[in-house]
C-alpha cells in the first residue's frame, strides 16, 4: 500500500474513528486503525466489537492495499505532522514509512487479514431522521441513563420506532427522560430496541448537518447509521427494558407554568449552599404566584423567589438539585410546565405545547426542619 493524503483530512477521519478504539483488548489487532486504500479513497476503521466506526477520505493511491497501524500512536503522530500532506508506504515486511514535510518515521503494522470487523447490518427496517432532531433527542435523554452496571439494561436507552415517530427513553431509577421526533419509517414494522448510551452519543456526533436526512438501519442485534462519509455499526443490548409507561402519572394536583431560564438560574444560585450539605437537597415551596427555592447547610441558608403561574394546591417538595438542572439545561423552551401530585410523588416536566419531551424526577422525602 502506498498513498498520499491531505493531513487535515486524515486527522479529521482519525478523530472520528478512534472513538471506537478499545482502551485495551485481548485481541491486539483491534488496538490499531484498519486502513484500506482502493479506487482513490482511503477507508479508516476502528472497532471494539461493540461499536465500529469507519470514515472514508480522498487519497492519491499509488498502490492499493490494506494494513493496520498502531491506533493511539498513529493518531497522536498525525496531529503533529508538519506538512500539508502525508505519504504512507507499507512494504512487504509490514513496516509503514510515514513522511510529512521534513518529518519521517516508520511504524510496524499488523496484517489487515487478521482484523476483526463487525458484519454489515442487513435488514428491511430503517428510518430517516433529521440529524439535528436526533442530536437533540440524544442530548436531551442520555444524561438520564444509568452510570453503573447494577441494572445493565439501564445503561442504554430504549428506542421505540413508530410508523411516523421515534421515541427515545432513558432512566436510572431517580429520573426518566423521554424525547420524541418525527421520522420516515421505510418499513412496516414497529419495534423496540435498547441501544448502549455510548453508541447513541457516537451516532449523534457523526451525523452531518448538510440538509439531508440521516439513515439508521436496524436488525435484531445491531444498528447501522450512515452520515456522509462516516458509518457506525453498533451492537444492541440484550434484555427487557423497564416497562416505563407503568410509572408515568396520568394526572396532577398542581401545575406550575414558569420561565425555564429564570428557574434554572435560581436553582443554580441556591444550589451553591445545597452542595455544602450532605444531602445536596433544595426545597420548592410553591404557591399560586411564586416558587420559593431554599437550601440549608451547616454554614448557612439560601433562598430565592421565582415568579410563576400555579394552578391547584400549594406544595412543598424537595429534590437533589442536579436532577433538576440536568433537565432544564437540555431544554430551549422559554416556559415549561411542572406537574405535581404530592411531596413524595414524581415531578413531571412538559412543554407548554406539543409532546416533544417528557421528564420525570423523583423527589427527596422531606423531614421536619428540612
State percent of the chain over pLDDT 90.
Answer: 84
Q: Is the pLDDT of residue 9 over 50?
A: yes
Q: Is the pLDDT of residue 185 over 90?
A: no
* 131-141 helix and 197-206 helix, angle to the nearest 10 degrees: 150
**Across 127-146, average pLDDT:** 95
DSSP state of 298: T
* Per-residue pLDDT tens over the stretch 47-69: 999 999 999 999 999 999 999 99
Q: Which residue has the higher pLDDT, 340 or 191?
A: 340
Interatomic CA distance for residues 322 and 291, integer angstroms? 18
Interatomic CA distance for residues 367 and 370, integer angstroms? 6
Q: What is the pLDDT of residue 200?
A: 96
Question: Which pTM was predicted?
Answer: 0.90
pLDDT grade for 226, boundaries at 50, 70 and 90: confident
* Per-residue pLDDT tens over the stretch 83-119: 999 999 999 889 999 999 999 999 999 999 999 999 9
DSSP state of 366: P
Q: What is the pLDDT of residue 370?
A: 43
**Across 172-201, average pLDDT:** 90
| Mean of the per-residue pLDDT values of the chain | 93
Which residues are CB-neighbours of 53 under 8 A, at least 6 positions away?
16, 17, 19, 20, 45, 46, 47, 202, 206, 230, 231, 232
Q: What is the pLDDT of residue 367?
A: 63
pLDDT grade for 225, boundaries at 50, 70 and 90: very high
Q: Which domains are seen in the chain, by residue range?
A: 2-114 (3.10.150.10), 125-245 (3.10.150.10), 248-361 (3.10.150.10)
Amino acid at each position: 500500500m502506498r498513498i498520499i493524503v491531505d493531513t487535515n483530512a486524515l486527522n479529521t477521519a482519525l478523530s472520528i474513528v478512534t472513538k471506537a478504539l478499545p482502551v485495551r483488548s485481548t485481541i491486539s489487532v483491534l488496538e490499531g486503525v484498519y486502513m484500506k486504500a482502493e479506487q482513490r479513497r482511503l477507508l479508516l476503521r476502528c472497532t471494539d466489537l461493540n461499536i465500529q466506526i469507519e470514515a472514508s477520505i480522498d487519497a492519491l493511491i499509488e498502490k492499493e492495499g490494506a494494513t493496520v497501524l498502531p491506533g493511539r500512536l498513529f493518531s497522536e503522530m498525525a496531529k503533529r505532522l508538519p506538512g500539508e500532506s502525508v505519504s504512507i508506504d507499507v512494504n512487504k515486511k509490514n513496516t509503514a514509512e510515514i513522511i510529512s514535510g521534513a518529518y519521517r518515521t516508520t511504524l510496524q503494522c499488523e496484517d489487515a487479514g487478521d482484523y476483526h470487523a463487525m458484519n454489515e447490518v442487513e435488514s428491511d427496517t430503517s428510518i430517516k431522521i433529521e440529524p439535528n432532531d436526533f442530536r437533540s433527542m440524544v442530548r436531551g435523554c442520555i444524561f438520564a441513563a444509568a452510570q453503573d452496571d447494577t441494572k445493565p439494561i439501564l445503561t442504554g436507552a430504549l428506542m421505540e420506532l413508530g410508523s411516523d415517530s421515534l421515541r427515545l427513553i432513558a432512566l436510572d431509577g431517580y429520573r426518566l427522560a423521554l424525547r420524541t421526533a418525527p421520522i420516515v419509517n421505510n418499513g412496516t414494522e414497529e419495534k423496540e430496541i435498547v441501544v448502549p448510551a455510548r453508541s447513541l452519543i457516537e451516532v449523534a456526533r457523526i451525523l452531518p448537518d448538510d440538509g439531508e436526512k440521516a439513515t439508521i438501519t436496524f436488525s435484531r442485534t445491531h444498528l447501522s447509521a450512515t452520515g456522509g462519509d462516516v458509518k457506525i455499526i453498533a451492537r444492541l443490548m440484550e434484555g427487557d427494558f423497564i416497562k416505563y409507561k407503568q410509572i408515568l402519572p396520568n394526572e396532577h394536583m398542581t401545575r406550575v407554568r414558569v420561565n425555564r431560564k429564570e428557574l434554572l438560574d435560581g436553582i443554580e444560585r441556591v444550589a451553591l449552599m445545597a452542595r455544602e450539605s450532605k444531602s445536596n437537597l433544595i426545597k420548592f415551596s410553591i404557591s399560586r404566584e411564586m416558587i420559593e427555592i431554599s437550601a440549608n447547610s451547616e454554614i448557612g441558608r439560601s433562598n430565592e423567589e421565582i415568579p410563576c403561574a400555579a394552578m391547584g394546591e400549594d406544595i412543598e417538595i424537595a429534590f437533589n438539585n442536579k436532577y433538576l438542572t440536568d433537565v432544564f439545561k437540555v431544554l430551549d423552551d422559554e416556559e415549561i410546565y411542572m406537574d405535581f401530585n404530592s411531596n413524595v410523588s414524581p415531578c413531571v416536566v412538559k412543554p407548554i405545547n406539543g409532546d416533544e419531551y417528557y421528564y420525570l424526577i423523583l423527589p427527596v422525602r422531606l423531614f421536619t426542619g428540612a
